[in-house]
Amino acid sequence: ERLHAFLFPNPGKEKFRILVTGPPCSQIEMLVTDYSGRIFRKEILRNFEGERTVILQPGLARGMYLVRIGSEKSFITKELIIR
């Protein structure tokens, strides 16, 4: 099984919800980066039980960013557009 993430609203302005689903694991790491890899936010989701909704308020300038979500077994990247 793999991780899945649904990011909404996208594009958006200030506040986003990320629904993460996948196999239970001890922790998931979530990073918000730009396309050069510069990290703007890092969050650790501990005791992931298969589904969690995260409220993301990155406070970033308008533009395109990446949300990278990974566990021990799976890794996904979603594009975040801030208007």
**DSSP readout, the chain?**
---EEEEESSSBSS-EEEEEESS-EEEEEEEEE-TT--EEEEEEEEEE-SEEEEEE-----SEEEEEEEE-SS-EEEEEEEE-
pLDDT at position 47 is 96
Task: Give dist(CA 83, CA 50) in Å, integer.
Answer: 31
pLDDT at position 58 is 87
Per-residue pLDDT tens, the chain, 83 aa: give them.
Answer: 899 999 999 999 999 999 999 999 999 999 999 999 999 999 999 999 999 999 999 899 999 999 999 998 899 999 999 99
pLDDT at position 1 is 80
Answer for the pair 55, 15: CB distance below 8 angstroms, yes or no. yes
pLDDT at position 9 is 97
Q: Report phi then psi at 58, rounded to 5.
A: -70, -25
Its pTM stands at: 0.92
